[in-house]
Every structure is written in C-alpha cells, then in structure tokens.
C-alpha cells in the first residue's frame, strides 16, 4: 500500500470519463488500498481513481461519523432528492472552496470491493461526497457547478500551493 500523488486542476486525467471496471482483480484491490492510504494522508473524505491518475470507475469515501471505508466500483446515482447550497472543496483543487448546489439525499448503486452489488442511501455530507466522487468519475469538477466565478473562495488557511492556487483561480475566472 502506498500514498499516490493527487492530480490537481489542469491535469487532463481529471476531465476524462472513467471506464467501467470489468473485473475486480488484485490490481483493483491494490488500487483501492492505495486510494484509501492517499485519501487519509491528504486528509480527505473521498477520492476517485482518476484523482490518482487511473481513469477507472472506482471511488472511496470515509465519513467521520461512520465506521469503515465505503468502496464504490462502477457507481451510479439512481435517484436524487431535494437541493441545497453549500461550500465544497476538493483535493484536486487545494486551497479553494466554492458555493454550489448539491442534493439533500441520493441513492447510489455500485459494487463493493468484493464485487457484491450494493445500494447506498446518503444524506448530508455523505450525499455530497457521493455526488462529488461520481462527478469526478464523469470528468466533472465541483467548479463546473459554480453559478459564477465569484462563488469560488480561497480557504482561510494558506497552504504551500498558494502560487499555484492563484493561477487556478485566474484560469477558472
């Protein structure tokens, strides 16, 4: 298991629609383990495979109030309920948050890391994380949901990537 580099805004792999996983073999298991390590090291709530340069439909999510990691292979949103406005950030766009619309609740179908079909109901932060990671797998970043560039804000705490972040903000605007 290893921590992989997280691809950041501007990397073309983030805009690719990820391919479905045909077979859950040892290479997929290894990818999942690396993604969990990477997500925790970042630290983040979720991570999609294309964020570590692998355009496959695999995502992991770990919620503070929930035990264990949720692994999603070939996830699809089946149903969305309600709408809310919230601030969202991303490991691939460090140092920024944007005000966007997300669902209040979602139902997702996928396979777990053992290949078993699962249905997951998510509300609040889990619904947001599910939509966010599935967007990544479709080549969509949260900044694509911004109503206007002025809805993107720098986070309070400066990070070492400040120079890169200023370039990102000017590209988005």
- Residue whose structure tokens are 């691809």: 7
Active site residues: 133
Query: How far does Cα 5 stand from its chain's mean position?
Result: 15
Report the C-alpha gap between 34 and 36 in whole angstroms: 5
Question: In whole angstroms, how large is the CA radius of gyration of the chain?
Answer: 15
Neighbouring CB atoms inside 10 A of 45's CB total 19
Q: What angle do CA 17, 78, 27 make, to 5 degrees?
A: 45
User: Residue 81: what are its φ and ψ, rounded to 5°?
Assistant: -130, 130
Residue from 50, 58, 46 nearest 127 by CA = 46
């Amino acid at each position: 298991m290893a921590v992989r580099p997280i691809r950041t805004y501007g990397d073309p792999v983030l805009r690719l629609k990820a391919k479905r996983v045909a077979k859950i073999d040892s290479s997929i298991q290894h990818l999942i383990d690396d993604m969990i390590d990477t997500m925790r090291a970042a630290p983040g709530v979720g991570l999609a495979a294309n964020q570590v340069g692998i355009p496959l439909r695999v995502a992991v999510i770990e919620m503070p109030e929930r035990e264990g990691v949720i692994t999603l292979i070939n996830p699809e949103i089946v149903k969305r309920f309600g709408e809310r406005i919230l601030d969202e950030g991303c490991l691939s766009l460090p140092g920024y948050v944007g005000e966007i619309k997300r669902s209040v609740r979602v139902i997702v179908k996928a396979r777990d890391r053992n290949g078993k079909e699962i249905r997951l109901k998510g509300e609040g932060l889990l619904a947001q994380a599910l939509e966010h990671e599935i967007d990544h797998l479709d080549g969509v970043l949260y900044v694509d949901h911004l109503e206007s560039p002025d809805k993107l804000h720098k986070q309070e705490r400066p990070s070492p990537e400040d120079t890169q972040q200023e370039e990102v903000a000017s590209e988005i605007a």
